[in-house]
């Protein structure tokens, strides 16, 4: 693991934050975060902070000459592209809870599962167990919370 600026990590964070900032002004009309599990919420927040801090500071995530290992990056970036497709679908929808938490291409709660998968695959590509742990903590909290919301609104 090498410390250094990761432009890939920065790009991923932009791909993550820009739609979420837009969402803050376009939340589902029937959205209520008041009853979220506090343990999952704490894990989600800790994972968010850790991933945000780790992704841009390891140069191992940057592109390298092509090898068979590069397929991990292809898979990771594909998950991030699907995440952007998910947001485009949401912003064009009626912006209900079912729109936010419905599956996409058979992927359950894609708004939470796709970025977690992308960061886990990025950790594999960069051979970085620190990001893998951070993304796992994020995944437990974030996906857990979103699965609960999906059940509440009947999207699962």
C-alpha dihedral, 20 to 80 to 12 to 97, nearest 10°:
10
| Phi, psi (deg, nearest 5) at residue 37 | -60, 125
**Domain boundaries defined on the chain:** 8-153
pLDDT digits (tens, 9 = 90+) for 82-120: 999 999 999 999 898 888 999 999 999 999 999 999 999
Residue 155 is classified by DSSP as -
Predicted model pTM: 0.94
Q: How many C-beta atoms lie closer than 10 Å to residue 133's C-beta?
A: 14
């Amino acid at each position: 693991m090498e410390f250094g600026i990761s432009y890939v990590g920065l790009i991923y964070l932009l791909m993550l934050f820009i739609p979420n900032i837009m969402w803050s002004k376009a939340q589902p009309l029937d959205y209520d975060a008041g009853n979220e599990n506090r343990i999952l919420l704490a894990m989600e927040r800790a994972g968010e902070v850790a991933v945000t801090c780790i992704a841009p500071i390891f140069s191992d995530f940057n592109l390298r000459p092509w090898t068979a290992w590069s397929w991990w990056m292809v898979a990771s970036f594909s998950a991030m592209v699907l995440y952007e497709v998910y947001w485009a679908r949401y912003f064009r929808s009626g912006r209900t809870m079912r729109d936010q938490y419905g599956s996409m291409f058979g992927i359950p709660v894609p708004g939470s599962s796709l970025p977690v998968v992308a960061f886990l695959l990025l950790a594999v590509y960069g051979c970085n167990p620190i990001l893998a742990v951070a993304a796992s903590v994020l995944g437990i909290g974030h996906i857990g919370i979103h699965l609960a919301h999906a059940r509440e609104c009947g999207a699962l």
